[in-house]
Amino acid sequence: MVKISEIYDGLVTSGEIFRNEAQISVLPHLDALKTELEQPVKKSLFRKAPPPPKGLYIWGGVGTGKSFLMDLFAANVDVPARRVHFHAFMQEVQNALHIARAASEQDALNVVARNLSKGLRLLALDEMQIKDIADAMIVGRLFTLMREDGVVCVTTSNRPPDDLYKDGLNRQLFLPFIAYLKEHLIVHDMQSETDFRQNRMSGAQVYFTPLNSVSSQGVEELWRDLTGGRDIRHSLQVKGRSLDIPRYHNGVGRLSFYDLCGKPLGPADYLTLAEALRVIVIDDIPQLGRHNFNEAKRFVTLIDALYESKTRLICSAAALPEMLYLEGEGVFEFERTASRLREMQSADWTS
């Protein structure tokens, strides 16, 4: 049985990653959980199956390598595992609840939880955060039901359990879930002075203009650095609709201007995207004006959402921010967008 710590050491030796003490502090927990999960579950007609082992809640700042460790664990533990972004998982749950209720299921959440648990032993959830009261009201029972079915959860978050859904509406109804996390998951504070994802861009150019082969190459180099050349097609659910991200890897997404602003998307789409991504790459932002006024309006809304959520932006554009929108209705309003685009280029903007 190969330990996660041994796999990690191998990656350090090969030069694929740098040794980091904060990451190393998590490895004993991952090794122990791997051993427990891979032990055969002894079932008996006369006794209940033993309770599943405690899961793991890894929290710390953005870019510390939490997701990397969780992915490493999920890919190397010999049990049925599923890795999914927490936001996408909860959208899936809400959609399944809608279907179950439409089918007049007496206990819709029980049906959904049992279906999610089928054939699953490990649920790896990236970036747990609760912002929606609809999610806050169901997570406690949802995770309890899945644990009863033997599913163990490993999750990452930017904040400790006590800070989840902080100042949220009816938060007192959410407190049992915090208690659940503390009881059934080992909470590990992953302190790190190194922000790997952001440091890859610290001091680097992130706004490329004009649109030419040099700009394309600059964006592509940053993309490869952030993703290691690995990406998949990913989709988010927004009010029952799919919002596609053509290229996605570990919280980093890449879309064209047309993907984002050439389609009838609105604030809900952009807010969902901003919550799901820590870094967004936008290709081929054109010159804006009267001829593409609707696209320009959507672009303003998009940048507002990314700015408020502190999502890191890399992009290629036809002109500098102040020169993108020079004529037509909305020029004055675009000055704020141009200012935000400038601010978002600074290395310390998200700190």
User: SS3 letters for the chain?
Assistant: CCCHHHHHHHHHHHCCCCCCHHHHCCHHHHHHHHHHHHCCCCCCCCCCCCCCCCEEEEECCCCCCHHHHHHHHHHHCCCCEEEEEHHHHHHHHHHHHHHHHHCCCCCHHHHHHHHHHCCCCEEEEECCCCCCHHHHCCHHHHHHHHHHCCCEEEEEECCCHHHCCCCCCCHHHCHHHHHHHHHHEEEEECCCCCCHHHHCCCCCCCEECCCCHHHHHHHHHHHHHHHCCCCEEEEEEECCEEEEEEEEECCEEEEEHHHHHCCCCCHHHHHHHHHHCCEEEEEEECCECHHHHHHHHHHHHHHHHHHHHCCEEEEEECCCHHHCECCCCCHHHHHHHHHHHHHCCCCCCCC
Domains and CATH numbers, the chain: 4-189 (3.40.50.300), 196-343 (3.40.50)
CA angle 116, 118, 124 (to 5 degrees): 55
d(CA 22, CA 59): 11
d(CA 12, CA 250): 20
Sheet of strand 207-208, all strands in order from the earlier edge strand to the far edge: 207-208, 312-317, 279-285, 252-256, 241-249, 232-238
The pTM score is 0.62
Q: What is the pLDDT of residue 350?
A: 63
Question: Using an 8 Å Cβ cutoff, are 30 and 69 in contact?
Answer: yes
pLDDT along the chain (351 residues), means of 10: 93 85 93 94 65 93 80 95 89 92 94 96 91 87 95 92 87 92 95 52 81 94 86 85 89 94 93 89 95 93 91 95 88 89 81 56
Hey, what are 330's tokens?
């909305």
Hey, what are 96's tokens?
């399944």
Q: What is the pLDDT of residue 333?
A: 82
> Among 145, 302, 125, 284, which Cα is nearest to 220's?
284
C-alpha count within 13 angstroms, C-beta hemisphere, residue 88: 19
Q: What is the pLDDT of residue 232?
A: 87
